[in-house]
Amino acid sequence: MIALEDSLIHVGLTKKTREALALAHKNIGLTYMSEKGYVKAKAHFLKTLTYSLDDSTAEYNLLMIEGHLLRRTEKKEKLWDAIETYYKALKLKPYNGEPYFFIGKS
Protein backbone atom coordinates (compact mmCIF):
# COMPACT_ATOMS: atom_id res chain seq x y z
CA MET A 1 0.00 0.00 0.00
CA ILE A 2 2.74 2.45 0.98
CA ALA A 3 4.67 1.62 -2.20
CA LEU A 4 1.66 2.79 -4.22
CA GLU A 5 1.01 5.87 -2.11
CA ASP A 6 2.23 8.45 -4.63
CA SER A 7 0.22 6.86 -7.43
CA LEU A 8 -2.88 6.71 -5.26
CA ILE A 9 -2.52 10.37 -4.34
CA HIS A 10 -2.10 11.27 -8.01
CA VAL A 11 -5.41 9.64 -9.01
CA GLY A 12 -7.23 10.93 -5.93
CA LEU A 13 -7.87 9.36 -2.55
CA THR A 14 -11.17 7.92 -1.46
CA LYS A 15 -12.14 7.82 2.20
CA LYS A 16 -11.30 4.11 2.39
CA THR A 17 -7.92 4.66 0.74
CA ARG A 18 -7.12 7.44 3.22
CA GLU A 19 -8.08 5.15 6.11
CA ALA A 20 -5.96 2.32 4.69
CA LEU A 21 -2.93 4.59 4.24
CA ALA A 22 -3.35 5.99 7.76
CA LEU A 23 -3.50 2.47 9.19
CA ALA A 24 -0.49 1.33 7.15
CA HIS A 25 1.62 4.28 8.30
CA LYS A 26 0.50 3.77 11.90
CA ASN A 27 1.48 0.10 11.82
CA ILE A 28 4.87 0.88 10.30
CA GLY A 29 5.36 3.60 12.92
CA LEU A 30 4.55 1.15 15.70
CA THR A 31 7.07 -1.32 14.29
CA TYR A 32 9.82 1.29 14.17
CA MET A 33 8.87 2.50 17.64
CA SER A 34 9.18 -1.01 19.08
CA GLU A 35 12.67 -1.20 17.56
CA LYS A 36 13.57 2.24 19.00
CA GLY A 37 13.75 3.70 15.49
CA TYR A 38 12.14 6.87 16.74
CA VAL A 39 13.02 9.17 13.83
CA LYS A 40 11.50 6.82 11.25
CA ALA A 41 8.53 6.11 13.51
CA LYS A 42 7.91 9.84 13.91
CA ALA A 43 7.80 10.29 10.12
CA HIS A 44 5.17 7.56 9.78
CA PHE A 45 2.99 8.88 12.61
CA LEU A 46 3.11 12.34 11.01
CA LYS A 47 1.95 10.73 7.75
CA THR A 48 -0.83 8.99 9.68
CA LEU A 49 -2.07 12.38 10.84
CA THR A 50 -2.12 13.72 7.28
CA TYR A 51 -4.67 11.05 6.42
CA SER A 52 -6.49 10.89 9.74
CA LEU A 53 -6.37 14.24 11.54
CA ASP A 54 -8.08 13.06 14.72
CA ASP A 55 -6.04 9.91 15.37
CA SER A 56 -5.31 10.21 19.09
CA THR A 57 -3.11 7.10 19.05
CA ALA A 58 -0.80 8.65 16.45
CA GLU A 59 -0.74 11.91 18.45
CA TYR A 60 0.05 9.98 21.63
CA ASN A 61 2.86 8.05 19.96
CA LEU A 62 4.32 11.25 18.50
CA LEU A 63 4.45 12.75 21.98
CA MET A 64 6.04 9.62 23.41
CA ILE A 65 8.64 9.61 20.62
CA GLU A 66 9.40 13.28 21.20
CA GLY A 67 9.89 12.53 24.90
CA HIS A 68 12.20 9.62 24.09
CA LEU A 69 14.27 11.73 21.70
CA LEU A 70 14.58 14.47 24.32
CA ARG A 71 15.62 11.94 26.99
CA ARG A 72 18.31 10.55 24.70
CA THR A 73 20.17 13.86 24.77
CA GLU A 74 20.75 13.41 28.54
CA LYS A 75 20.90 17.19 28.92
CA LYS A 76 19.23 18.44 32.08
CA GLU A 77 17.03 21.04 30.36
CA LYS A 78 15.99 18.49 27.72
CA LEU A 79 15.02 16.03 30.46
CA TRP A 80 12.58 18.59 31.82
CA ASP A 81 11.21 19.06 28.30
CA ALA A 82 10.84 15.28 28.03
CA ILE A 83 8.86 15.19 31.28
CA GLU A 84 6.54 17.92 30.00
CA THR A 85 6.07 15.99 26.76
CA TYR A 86 5.21 12.80 28.63
CA TYR A 87 2.62 14.75 30.63
CA LYS A 88 1.06 15.90 27.35
CA ALA A 89 0.86 12.26 26.29
CA LEU A 90 -0.86 11.48 29.60
CA LYS A 91 -3.60 13.96 28.77
CA LEU A 92 -4.42 11.93 25.65
CA LYS A 93 -4.34 8.55 27.38
CA PRO A 94 -4.63 9.15 31.14
CA TYR A 95 -4.99 5.47 32.05
CA ASN A 96 -1.86 4.36 30.22
CA GLY A 97 1.05 3.77 32.59
CA GLU A 98 3.81 4.16 30.00
CA PRO A 99 4.20 7.96 30.35
CA TYR A 100 4.39 7.62 34.14
CA PHE A 101 7.18 5.08 33.75
CA PHE A 102 9.25 7.39 31.55
CA ILE A 103 8.55 10.41 33.74
CA GLY A 104 10.05 8.41 36.60
CA LYS A 105 13.06 7.38 34.51
CA SER A 106 13.69 10.98 33.48
How many degrees, rounded to 5, is the angle at CA 59 between CA 5 and CA 66?
A: 100
Model confidence at 9, pLDDT cuts 50, 70, 90, reads: low
Residue 7 has pLDDT above 80, yes or no: no
- Give the residue among 71, 64, 72, 65 at the shortest CA–CA distance from 106: 71
Residue 78 has pLDDT above 80, yes or no: yes
Mean pLDDT confidence for 59-72: 96
Residue type, 82: A
Contacts 24+ apart (CB under 8 A), 95-100: 96/60, 98/64, 99/64, 99/67
Domains of the chain: 2-105 (1.25.40.10)
How far apart are the C-alpha atoms of 64 and 55, rounded to whole Å? 15
- Could you tell me the CA-to-CA distances from 67 to 31, 87, 89 in Å, in that order? 18, 10, 9
Mean pLDDT confidence for 4-30: 78
Enumerate residues 6+ apart whose C-beta is below 8 A from 25. Answer: 2, 44, 45, 47, 48, 51
Mean pLDDT confidence for 7-24: 76
- pLDDT value at position 6? 57
Q: Which residue has the higher pLDDT, 13 or 11?
A: 13
pLDDT digits (tens, 9 = 90+) for 40-54: 999 999 999 998 888
| Percentage of residues in the chain having pLDDT higher than 90 | 67
- pTM of the model as a whole: 0.85
